[in-house]
Amino acid sequence: MLTYEPGTTLAHRLDPRSKLAFQIGFAATALAHTTLPALGALTVVTALVLAVARVPPLRTLYAYRFALVLLAVAPLVAAATFGTPWIDVSDGVTSAQASYRVLLILLVSAAYVRTTPVRASRAAIQRTIPGKPGQVLAIGVALVFRFLPVLRADLRTIREAIAARLGTERDAIERTTTIATLSLSRAFDRADRLTLAMQARCFSWNPTLPALSLSRRDLPVFGVAIVLAATALL
């Protein structure tokens, strides 16, 4: 789910620079405003983004299931106290609102990932930020987008292999240690193979990137991004 999928939606046809600007503006205003009306408005915006990109909400939430566990546990930890009254509801509510804002940002990010090719993201970053810093950042983003699905697939394979060998009968600490050790080993192996593959293909800091062009459909997106960023400063 958290990979690019070709399509013909409006979100697919937008320039990646306008989508990045929208994400930045959305994240800024989501982190700046904590009131319930603001969260309600951001929820509506998120629903519109998912609808335009045709991103299934349930599949997206399932893809973020591990992050959802952390977001759900955070309010419980924040509400707990070491003395009476043992539970501070106000702290729990504040943490829950923060977790919900992070969830909205993740959903909007999922829409971007699903509708934007990796090479287009690299081109957008590299042409927006000049010089070597832009190249380094663009390469890092491209490698993360390509490498993360592979690591997730390796983790799923390791868990299935352990389950097939009755590893689920072991205690939780032993299972966690085994999965973590094998996952790190596989990740380092993947990194070594990636380095060798990049060298074999004469890795270039300035490759021929796809052409990007802004159109009229990108102007409203830039406008919304500016409004969102402005509301974060108010």
Q: What ranges do the domains of the chain cover? A: 10-117+213-233, 132-200
Residue 203 has what pLDDT? 66
> Encoding tokens for residue 8?
């013909």
| Res. 168 pLDDT band, cuts 50 70 90 | confident
Q: CA-based diameter of the chain, in Å? A: 64
Q: What average pLDDT does the segment 189-211 reach? A: 72
At 127, list the tokens: 């042409």
Mean pLDDT of the chain: 83
Q: Binning pLDDT at 50, 70 and 90, where does residue 202 land?
A: low
Percentage of the chain lying above the pLDDT 70 cut = 94
User: In angstroms, what CA-CA distances link 38 with 32, 75, 79, 103, 180?
Assistant: 10, 20, 23, 14, 39
Q: What is the mean pLDDT of residues 194-218?
A: 75
Q: How much is the average pLDDT of 4-18?
A: 90
CA 100 to chain centre: 15
Structure tokens, 76? 């419980």
How sure is the predictor about 22, in pLDDT bands with cuts at 50, 70 and 90? very high
Q: pLDDT band for 207, please (50, 70, 90 cuts).
A: low
- Does residue 204 register a pLDDT over 80? no
Tokens encoding 113: 């990932």
User: Model confidence over 58-86: pLDDT tens digits?
Assistant: 888 888 888 888 888 888 888 887 767 77
Q: What is the 3-state secondary structure (H, E, C) of the chain?
A: CCCCCCCCCHHHHCCHHHHHHHHHHHHHHHHHCCCHHHHHHHHHHHHHHHHHHCCCHHHHHHHCHHHHHHHHHHHHHHHECCCCCCECHHHHHHHHHHHHHHHHHHHHHHHHHHHCCHHHHHHHHHHHCCHHHHHHHHHHHHHHHHHHHHHHHHHHHHHHHHHHCCHHHCCHHHHHHHHHHHHHHHHHHHHHHHHHHHHHCCCCCCCCCCCCCCCCCHHHHHHHHHHHHHHHHC
> What gap in Å lies between CA 19 and CA 77, rounded to an integer?
35
Confidence band (pLDDT; 50, 70, 90) for 205?
low
The per-residue pLDDT for 108 is: 92
Tokens (6 digits) for 134: 């832009």
How much is the pLDDT for 40? 92
Per-residue exposure over 23-43, b if at least 16 CB sit within 10 Å of its own CB, e if not: bebbbbbbeebeeeebbeebe
pLDDT tens digit string along 98-123?
889 999 999 999 999 899 888 888 88
Q: What is the Cα–Cα distance from 21 to 30, expressed in whole angstroms?
A: 14
How far, in whole angstroms, is CA 57 from its chain's centroid? 14
* pLDDT band for position 4 (cuts 50, 70, 90): confident
